Amino acid sequence: MKDLADKLREMNIGPVKENEPLANHTSIKIGGPADIFIEPSSIENLQKAMETILATNVKWTVIGRGSNLLVTDKGIEGVVIKLGAGLDDLKIEGTRVTAGGGLSLVNFAITISRKGLSGLEFAGGIPGSIGGAVYMNAGAHGSDISRILEKAYVLFEDGTLEWLTNEEMKFSYRTSVLQSERPGIVVAAVFQLKEGDREKIVSELQKNKDYRKETQPYNYPSCGSVFRNPLPHYAGNLIEKSGLKGHRIGGAQISGLHGNFIINTGNATAEDVLAIIQHVKDTILAKDGVEMETEVEIIGRK
């Protein structure tokens, strides 16, 4: 691994680290080390890094801002590629907006709302990156990414890059084609928005942000919503009705504010979180006959 790390450093693609703790790169502040951790400074440097990584047959994983991610305590084998600085550009051309996959979704929503562009009011307070939001079709308040995405620039497992249209993304509730049929990661996206009343747009965005602050545990590290809503039910309601709010294993605890959030009280491990997830699944299945599916992405060595 050291030879590969040295080679990537020589290519001057951006920061390259070895045995980097991924707890530093996830919103829940949990995760073992990455053998090699890189943060490419451009799409071109990402492509160069991918060519080198693929030539060595080393496993690779892409992460964004780590907001809907649980990395196991043993970390991730191979190379972890973070889409961040360098892939966080933003280009506004009328109502058509192009954003880098590493751009903060919150910052993106704030910027376009101040330009009087409507379509992302639902994203007020939603953490994470543009790439992650498109990958999982993030949404809230009756809307989601699929309503505004024109196309996405996707990096596939073989290292190729391709634009996929909205239709080709095959969006559904919190999912896209990238999670199943065509595994890939979004490095850029084009959105089609609408002109609107700037004050109303900013106000709606702030209202949604305030609602999240009031109903979700912002004062503790978490990975966001843990379970998908098993419609017509809501995950948080099922967990609350089962008396699981506040349930704790080790340093992980189901939030007393919102049942679909597991918080890190200070020293939680991934094993603690996984144990709570399994307990919730077993409890809800026995009590309500509902199979709970995780929304959070769980990756790493087992």
Domain ranges of the chain: 2-82, 90-201, 219-299
Q: Sheet containing 33-38: give its strands across.
A: 16-21, 33-38, 76-82, 60-63
Question: 4 pLDDT band (50/70/90 cuts)?
Answer: very high
Provide CB contacts within 8 A for 232, sequence distance 6+.
none
Q: What is the CATH number of domain 2-82?
A: 3.30.43.10
Catalytically annotated residues = 174, 225, 295
CA nearest neighbour of 271 among 287, 286, 252? 252
Which residue's structure tokens are 């959030």? 261
CA dihedral of residues 156, 57, 33, 13 (deg, nearest 10) = -70
Which bin fits 232, alpha (ψ -120 to 50), beta or left (φ > 0)? alpha
Q: How far, in Å, CA of 76 to CA of 152, rounded?
A: 26
Question: 185 pLDDT band (50/70/90 cuts)?
Answer: confident
CA nearest neighbour of 255 among 292, 280, 230? 280
Provide CB contacts within 8 A for 137, sequence distance 6+.
144, 145, 146, 171, 172, 173, 174, 175, 176
In this structure, which topology does domain 90-201 adopt according to CATH? 3.30.465
Q: Please indicate whether residue 124 or residue 199 has the higher confidence score (pLDDT).
A: 199
196-205: per-residue pLDDT in tens? 999 999 999 9
State yes or no: pLDDT of 98 exceeds 90.
Answer: yes
| Angle between helix 2-10 and helix 43-55 axes, rounded to 10 deg | 150
CA 110 to chain centre: 18
Percent of the chain's residues with pLDDT above 70? 100
Q: How far, in Å, CA of 124 to CA of 251, rounded?
A: 29
Q: How far, in Å, CA of 136 to CA of 152, rounded?
A: 13
Consecutive H or E run containing 47: helix 43-55
Residue-level pLDDT at 111? 95
CA nearest neighbour of 95 among 150, 145, 138, 136? 150
* Global pTM exceeds 0.95: no
In this structure, which topology does domain 219-299 adopt according to CATH? 3.90.78
